[in-house]
A and B are shown apart, each in its own frame.
Chain A
């Protein structure tokens, strides 16, 4: 099992390395890439050349890449030519905000999605199942930016119960922080809750038809034990995979929700750096996002192995 996990880690590292090449290549291949963007602001050709030289843009690409990787490994992501702030400092400032949003919405999605999936799977075909499935499909189709706008209209503009956007750091009090985060987290988590509910339901229905469930029932086990202990444990494998795969979608959602609710997170930073052609920041933000995604995928794989003993064996045999 250790070998299986080690193999996963190596693959993740290779993917991460490829990702750095893609990020670097993409940003530098852009016509109007960093060089043009910088020199456009300069008044004279000599000044432009000096700026280019100061940021190292006049060197060959492989050299620039090697330098950049060296910096990345030591935690330095360069300096934003616009704000003259280190990119890593900007990312460090905004990452906790985005993480809080992501974790809260994930929590919301799990708390709603898993019990709803289990409850509907336990009694398929009932009215509750039908209603919950329909609601889930609705949640799946609801574009979060629209949902966010509607939520602001209802809860902030008309009812005045929640702020319409912005962010209060945790340091300034938990109440104010959560007040600002609750609406974005629910808006972002709704689609995910729908996905989790549907997947839990499908996996549970399959598990409840399995022989071991029949055996458990035949042994006289309580129905709640059969459902919540036996069947759910096996269904969780599917759910964990789906949650892992969905996190990529969550990242896209984070950007839109941050824009709608005006939350100064990584998503806003990425978009702003596109609009302002701030390439070092863009590079850093995109790399951070990609790295986060790769790490989440790795953790998903490891969770798999830990939840399902059977997978440990198959994976060790070297199966892909």
Chain B
């Protein structure tokens, strides 16, 4: 952020040109904050749709009606048209929000719940425990979530949990690394040593002295990870590894739409646009959180 302000070399009285630069640099943040607010509101709306949307759905998302197959958007009684089985696209979109969002958010929660203590323990105790824990994390990191999902798809059920588990496990090493780094930064500081001398138990120190310092970077990572996980959940469903048809899911809807794109383009447009807009809102929200909590990483 200082870049725009740092004039060339010699400290000079603020010239008109420099003043203009300073003002411009200062304007960057409010503009991005406005976007962050928009993203937060958008994310909230999507979450509300996921929770209450099914109540507003005009039809049963799985009710087929072969009399109105592949109706275009705006058709009577079907605002977004119907799919190849005559199912109401709007209803399926509203129900689909639930599974896509649930997989994205739950997996991030899972990854944080496991990764946070994992990294803190590694960083706090160091030595062989750290070495072992972090090597295991490295191995996990070497498996893209898709491969994890591929493995899990064959053993776990129901499929929603496969997606949650695969996407969650994939996040564990990332969050663990961040938590470990933040723990290492503070564990040798005086106040932690003082607590140790005071005879505090390790668990208490981890909770009361270390955790508050670790939460900030982990929160940043968590908010940044949510949109990635949402898209990841959609990818899994698209590939047939996550939520299975006929359950409505944006990724799954897109996979089925692929065969009918020549006749009905919109079938491929709505679910994709929904994933895109959701990810965009959560990304804006995550940027806002990053800006607010991480002054150094300001964009």
Chain A residues at the B interface, C-beta cutoff of 8 Å? 11, 14-15, 18-19, 22, 26-27, 29-32, 121, 123-126, 129-130, 133-134, 137-138, 140-143, 145-146, 149-150, 152-153, 157, 198, 201-202, 204-206, 208-209, 213-215, 217-218, 248-249, 251-252, 255-256, 259-260, 270-271, 274, 282, 286, 289-290, 293-294, 297, 320
Contact = CB atoms under 8 A, between A and B. Distances in A.
Nearest to A319: B184
B151 A252 contact: no
B272 A202 contact: no
Contact of A256 (B134, B238, B271, B296): B238
B239 A256 contact: yes
A248 B272 contact: no
Given A22-B143, A251-B144, A217 B276 contact: no
Contacts of A249: 144, 228
A149 B9 contact: no
Contact of B142 (A27, A146, A217, A290): A290
A137 B144 contact: no
Given A138-B280, A149-B261, A286-B150, A205 B1 contact: yes
A274 B276 CA distance: 28
Contacts of B284: 137
Nearest to B238: A145
Interface of B: 1-6, 8-10, 24-25, 27-28, 31-32, 35, 130, 134-136, 138-139, 141-147, 150-151, 153-155, 227-228, 231-232, 234-235, 238-239, 241, 251, 254, 257-258, 261-262, 265, 268-269, 271-273, 275-276, 279-280, 283-284, 287, 296-297, 299
Q: Is the interface of A mostly helix, strand, loop or mixed?
A: helix
Contacts of A297: 138, 141-142
Given A19-B139, A30-B151, A255-B146, A150 B272 contact: yes
Contact of B299 (A198, A271, A320): A198
A22 B273 CA distance: 37
B258 to A, nearest CB: 6
Contacts of B136: 18
8 contacts: A14-B135, A15-B139, A150-B268, A157-B262, A209-B3, A214-B8, A252-B235, A297-B138
Q: Is the interface of B mostly helix, strand, loop or mixed?
A: helix
Contacts, number: 170
Contacts of B144: 248-249, 251-252, 289, 293
B31 A130 contact: yes
Contacts of A14: 135
A125 B25 contact: yes
Nearest to B25: A125
Given A124-B25, A146-B276, A248-B144, A271 B150 contact: yes
A248 B251 CA distance: 21
Nearest to B126: A320
Contact of B3 (A145, A150, A153, A205): A205
B260 to A, nearest CB: 12
Contacts of A260: 258
B16 to A, nearest CB: 17
Given A149-B254, A217-B9, A294 B142 contact: yes
